[in-house]
Structures are given as C-alpha cells and as structure tokens.
Amino acid sequence: MAVRHQLIRRPPDALWAVLSDPSRYEEWVVGTYSTRPGTGAWPQQGATLRYTVRLGRKEFEGHTTVRRHEPPHSLELEAYSGPLGTARIAFDIRPWGEHTLVTLDEHPLRGVGGALHNGALDALMQLRHRSLLGRLARTVEGSSPDRSGRDARV
C-alpha cells in the first residue's frame, strides 16, 4: 500500500473545490492527457470521469468511479486501468491550522495489478504520488476564491 501526505497552504474547501472539478484533473493527475465527463454528477458516489493517458506515443483510455464521497473530508475513487485492473485511490482531507493536510492512499484492487502487488510497485507509486501531490498543491494554491466563494483559476 502506498500512502503519502502533503500540506496544502489553503483551507480544505479550496482543495475540495479542485477535487470536485473534473475539468481540472489533467492539471494534477500524473500522466493524464485529457479528461471528459462520464456518467452522473462528479464527484457524487457512482459518478464517473473518463480520461486519456499518454505514455510516449501510446494513448490509453480509462475511467474512474467515485466509491465514497464525504465532503470535505474524504473522497475514494476506483480507477480502471484496462488489462491491469483497478486501483483504490483515497484522499483523506483534514484541516491543519489554516491549511490542509491531505493523505493519499492508493493500492491495486482488482485484476493483474492486485494479484502482482508487491513492495517494488509500492516504491514506484510513492514516486508518482510525490509528483501528483506536489502538482495538486500547486493547483490548489494557485486558485483563489471568486466572489461567489467558489475557486477560480488565477
């Protein structure tokens, strides 16, 4: 299991605003080239988000389903990775003074990825999480609330 945390220098509602905006996932999810709506109202439980991942010249289509939605404290997703199976991705969101402490917990759940899960895979996921959480922090910290209280891109 790969668990990593990041301090984000904005309040939890600013982080939640970014997590709730499916058009912004490509800004912070490592490897995501583009996103588009799936089914349901993101990030309500059962809603999906479709995306394209690019690895060199190869493109892969995937989707993510919301499995648990408890704003502004937690969001749990199941990401479908084609023949590799699925992964559980959980965000635990806590106020930390005037800032936010977010913990990311990801592990393979179903399919080949789950069957072959090992320490080496966790080490690779830790590297990915370092980048992902850094990008998420920059995205959230680069947003500012507009007059309606929602986050707007700076």
User: 3-state SS string over the chain?
Assistant: CEEEEEEECCCHHHHHHHHCCHHHHHHHCCCEEEEEECCCCCCCCCCEEEEEEEECCEEEEEEEEEEEEECCCEEEEEEECHHHCEEEEEEEEEEECCEEEEEEEEEEEEHHHHHCCCHHHHHHHHHHHHHHHHHHHHHHHCEEECCCCCEEEC
Domains of the chain: 2-142 (3.30.530.20)
pTM metric for this prediction: 0.83
pLDDT tens sequence across 95-134: 999 999 999 998 888 876 666 666 766 666 767 768 789 9
Across 48-52, average pLDDT = 93
